[in-house]
């Protein structure tokens, strides 16, 4: 089965209408100013659904938690 790089399943399932795919990519690349100002980092309730549904098993919730910890200490 072909799974595109950004399938969007996490976006479909996020209960808070967020973009976990974008959040995780920005966090992974340490782009913290954008993740806070433009992608509403703090709206994430850390439910973990995005990571659960990810067919690529990306540790999305790990990236989000890490970004919150870093931004909180900036
Ligand atoms: S952990 Fe955050 S980004 Fe992921 S599905 Fe839950 S609210 Fe959305």
Per the domain annotation, does 61 fall within a domain? yes
Q: Is 49 in the pocket of ligand 1 (CB under 6 A)?
A: yes
- Whether residue 5 is predicted with pLDDT greater than 80 in this model: the reply is no
Q: Is 47 in the pocket of ligand 1 (CB under 6 A)?
A: yes
Per the domain annotation, does 36 fall within a domain? yes
For atom 6 of ligand 1, the residue with the nearest CA is: 47
Based on the number of CB atoms within 10 Å of its own CB, is 64 exposed (0-12), middle (13-18) or buried (19 or more)?
buried
| Total number of domains constituting the chain | 1
For atom 7 of ligand 1, the residue with the nearest CA is: 44
Per the domain annotation, does 10 fall within a domain? no
What is the model's pTM? Answer: 0.86
Per the domain annotation, does 35 fall within a domain? yes
Q: Are 34 and 67 in contact (CB under 8 A)?
A: no
Per the domain annotation, does 73 fall within a domain? no
Q: Are 60 and 20 in contact (CB under 8 A)?
A: yes
**What is the residue range of 32's domain?**
16-48+56-67
The ligand 1 atom at the shortest distance from the C-alpha of residue 44 is: 2
pLDDT per position as a tens digit, 24-67: 999 999 999 888 888 899 999 999 999 999 999 999 999 999 99
Per the domain annotation, does 74 fall within a domain? no
Per the domain annotation, does 31 fall within a domain? yes
Per the domain annotation, does 39 fall within a domain? yes
């Amino acid at each position: 089965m072909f799974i595109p790089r950004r399938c969007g399943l996490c976006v479909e399932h996020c209960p808070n209408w967020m973009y976990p795919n974008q959040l995780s990519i920005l966090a992974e690349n340490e782009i913290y100013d954008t993740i806070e100002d433009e992608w509403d980092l703090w709206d994430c309730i850390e439910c973990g659904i995005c990571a659960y549904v990810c067919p690529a098993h990306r540790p999305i919730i790990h990236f989000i938690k890490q970004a919150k910890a870093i931004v909180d200490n900036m």
